[in-house]
Structure 1
Amino acid sequence: MLRQQVLRPVTAGLALALAATVGTPWTAAAHDASSPRTSRAECPQLRKDLPWYGGNRAKLQRMIDERGSCSAKSRSAQSRSAKSRSGAGKPVAAFDWDNTIVKNDISDATLAWMLKHDKILQPTSWRATNKWMTAAAHRALTRACGTSVPVGRPLPTSTDTGCTDEILDIYEGAKTSTGDTAFSGVWNHRRTVPEYVWITQLFAGHSPARLTEFARKARAENLAAPIGSVQKVGTHDWAGYVRYYEQQVDLIRTLRKAGFDVWVVSASAEPIVRAWAPGAGFKNNRVIGIRNVVRDGRLTTGVQGCGDVKDDTRGEALTYMDGKRCWINKGIYGIKGAEAWRQQDPAHRIAFGAGDAETDVTFVDDATAGHLVINRNKTELMCRAYDNADRRWIVNPMFIEPKKRQSAPYPCATEGYMNTDGVEGPVRRPDGSVVPDQKDRVFPKGTARS
């Protein structure tokens, strides 16, 4: 889940233009998907009518052929590999959702729909919704949204612009409308973000099924809106459309046909992801998102923990950065306790990971066979991708409205890595060496620098 800037559409030709890719062990010349040794009938094939950047389709196909069910070597390895909760020995593929499988953010879309339809419920106290909320934010929300609506009843956010704006200001920038800090205190910056927790806490009081219903309505509205649409929420301009990436839906289908166990691991609330997941072929038992504690059939402001972090700790272990690794280890491989935070041996790690931002960097880096990055100019992830330490990183521009080339190199050697205390430092390889600054190299030709 990452908030989006509203971008103007680009032409189809511009979005599909090609440039040089980062090096990988799968060169297009040697391992093209159309070559005889990788196009055996028993190997499921990616669609050739869907454009990928450079030789990326061939690289992905090679990975599928090497690790999928059509490979005798893979079958032998699977017979010896650890069982996931899905069954014995299947290679696991894990995808982030927002801006990886779809363009734009489904949490943002759902929140916007709920604000426009008076579905946010008055809390007992705004400060009680989030353990890191400041007194200034509590006062700002109380002043903007008032106290006349009884606790547990809908706030009139469709007409009360001030209340809506205050909620969005705090969610978007972690500041009040007057610029005061909205969240303070101590948290592990590789496990959680207070405003990411807070959006799920705004859904408290509804049942999970009801939140999924809201998300389905937002889904229908956003899929129907033209690409590039902007909606007005309060006085804010908000992205007004979402689209499934056809290439990613096809990749998911092909991986599944090739014997991979394919999962979604998202930093959006799980009931929201469940509204969207079937559109990419996922069943509910293959979805991991932020899981609020449910009491008496309704979502609370408590959040389920992971590893040695207990439930109802108000969001100290989200499906965010290192938290995604923990939830993969817990939810897919059944690893318990503090051990779930650690990188596992190859038999207990995903084969393939796909993501677009810092929230995905840990689990995508954990993948043993391939790492797909959708380029949104996010520093730590792009540092890992362009360093390409295991020669299995694949970088692709966004399939819709791709980002421009970043003009300055990514500061990998000095401040590319977010430490647990929030202090930035150098990105390091497993051997401790520092990743040098990296130039942005994968972008559509003809785009200006940002």
Structure 2
Amino acid sequence: MQRRQFLNALAAVSVTSPLLFASGRANAQTATMRPTTLDPGRWSPLNARRIQALLDDYGSQSKGYRADKRPYAVFDWDNTCIMNDCEEALLMYQINHLQYKLTPDEFVEVMWKDVPKGPFVKDYTTVDGKPVTMEDLAADVEADYRWLHANYRGLAGSKSLEEIQASDQFKDFRAKLYFMYDAICDTHPLEIGYKWIIYFYKNMTTAELQAMAEASNNYDIGDALRKVKYESPKTLPGKAGVVADSHFHGIRIHEEIRALMHALRANGIDVYVSTASIDDVVRVFAGHPSYGYGVPPENVIGLRLEMQDGKYTANYKSGWHFNWGPGKTTGIQNVLVAQKGYGPVLVAGDSDGDAWMLRDFRDTSVGLIVNRLKKGEIGADSQQAAAQLGSAKARFILQGRDEQTGLMLPDEKSLKYGKSERKLLA
């Protein structure tokens, strides 16, 4: 109860400008701190020593340090700096609170933006095992949204949010729209799904989006870490039938990452964030004083939308790269290396979306992997980390965490949600 009261107080903080705060304010917290050592916290002891060696070798106390050529570090955000994904949490928050500025016709246009027709992969079926197509699912979601728009007081109707949330139309909308997001991501290239999720911000100003993001952050920090299955009502099978999908609720701040960011800056090493979420959403979490990371808004590289008359459109920013996987390397090269002439000394990530930037820069001394026991491209980097375990010059290091609590573990091994045994590799 005390934590929820505290979070309600946080939620009262209003967003007064599109960027929330000046970069000088974000850096001011670190300016008063001059630690030269890393707080060991819950770091694996081997990782604490490796990171401390990096601070000693590249920080402002090192012999070769040049203030006019400041080293820098790049962090992925979701599931690296925090436990879970703030933009996927925002998707669920936006659904639950019906915070859309879209007419029904605009909603349908956004829902179909860049999404191919046809069936989803075999894992995405009805609860009784029948295939689901985008056409049928979209028809059901459209019918739900038209009903919700006509009836919800916050859109064009007269019913309260509580009355709406009790309706079968809302429950159908939530289950099927979230199912649609996961099905799109797993059926088609991730670029389609990751852009699709941000098109629903159409017609919002940056301040409106960031206010919603802050409210979502506060809600999920106060929520339990729990996986909830959402099933559409049997009373509304529609064209697609009854479907179900699960969402991992709850967010936790990784205190060790936050402390590391402050230690880096205190040692003259700049901190950047590279995210596959829209940058204006991550800027709230990374830079708002309530969360304590202190990352200036201009130091966040992420997905971007075209703006028109001060509002987001449902068009991806022309000429801007897709900031995931190899695209994160492109972003660092185009935004940072082009300006500075050199790459990051430290890169941190957790998934395939980060695997390339973790290994692509010869200037990188340490690739820090938050160990989610993944295979694929990040699995290859994790294998290297496991092979280098204990090396004083390890290029990759694995940091364990407990997904039951969201806390880091003083270990390279991680404990997956619902499991009882720590593991080093997938």
TM-score (norm. length: structure 1):
0.65
The whole-number CA distance in structure 1 between the counterparts of 2:350 and 2:402 is: 12
Residue 238 of structure 1 and its aligned partner are, at CA, apart by 2.3
Range with greater deviation from structure 2 (242-251 or 114-123) = 114-123
1:51-450 correspondence to structure 2 within 5 Å? 51-73=42-64, 75=65, 78=66, 88-120=68-100, 121=102, 122-124=104-106, 125-126=108-109, 129-134=112-117, 136-146=133-143, 148=146, 158=165, 159=167, 160-174=170-184, 183=188, 193-226=191-224, 228-230=225-227, 236-278=245-287, 279=291, 280-305=293-318, 310=319, 317-334=321-338, 347-367=341-361, 368-379=364-375, 380-388=377-385, 391-398=394-401, 400-401=403-404, 442-444=412-414, 447=421
**8 Å Cα contact 2:75-2:347 kept in structure 1:** yes
Partner of 2:276, secondary structure, is strand
Partner of 2:302, secondary structure, is strand
The whole-number CA distance in structure 2 between the counterparts of 1:399 and 1:259 is: 31
Distance change (3 Å), C-alpha of 1:444 and 1:329: closer
Distance change (3 Å), C-alpha of 1:123 and 1:369: farther
Aligned-residue sequence identity (percent) comes to: 21
Residue 444 of structure 1 and its aligned partner are, at CA, apart by 5.0
The whole-number CA distance in structure 2 between the counterparts of 1:90 and 1:362 is: 23
Distance change (3 Å), C-alpha of 1:448 and 1:101: closer
Q: Which amino acid letter does the alignment assign opposite residue 289 of structure 1? A: G
Q: Which amino acid letter does the alignment assign opposite residue 257 of structure 1? A: A
The whole-number CA distance in structure 1 between the counterparts of 2:45 and 2:346 is: 20
The whole-number CA distance in structure 1 between the counterparts of 2:76 and 2:356 is: 12
Matched length: 329
Residue 360 of structure 1 and its aligned partner are, at CA, apart by 0.4
Residue 233 of structure 1 and its aligned partner are, at CA, apart by 5.8
Range with greater deviation from structure 2 (275-284 or 141-150) = 141-150
Unaligned runs of 5+ in 2: 1-32, 119-132, 233-244
Distance change (3 Å), C-alpha of 1:52 and 1:328: same
Higher helix proportion: 2
Q: Which amino acid letter does the alignment assign opposite residue 174 of structure 1? A: I
Deviations 1:207-258, CA, capped at 9 Å, x for gaps: 22211111111111111224x2455767554222111111111111101111
The whole-number CA distance in structure 2 between the counterparts of 1:112 and 1:254 is: 34
Q: Which amino acid letter does the alignment assign opposite residue 378 of structure 1? A: K
**8 Å Cα contact 1:205-1:300 kept in structure 2:** yes
The whole-number CA distance in structure 2 between the counterparts of 1:42 and 1:238 is: 41
Q: Which amino acid letter does the alignment assign opposite residue 255 of structure 2? A: E
Residue 53 of structure 1 and its aligned partner are, at CA, apart by 1.8
Residue 369 of structure 1 and its aligned partner are, at CA, apart by 1.2
Question: What's the RMSD between the two structures over aligned residues?
Answer: 3.2
Residue 448 of structure 1 and its aligned partner are, at CA, apart by 6.1
Residue 70 of structure 1 and its aligned partner are, at CA, apart by 0.8
Equivalence for 1:45? 37
Partner of 2:398, secondary structure, is strand
The whole-number CA distance in structure 1 between the counterparts of 2:60 and 2:405 is: 33
**8 Å Cα contact 2:413-2:422 kept in structure 1:** no
**8 Å Cα contact 2:110-2:200 kept in structure 1:** no
Residue 377 of structure 1 and its aligned partner are, at CA, apart by 2.1
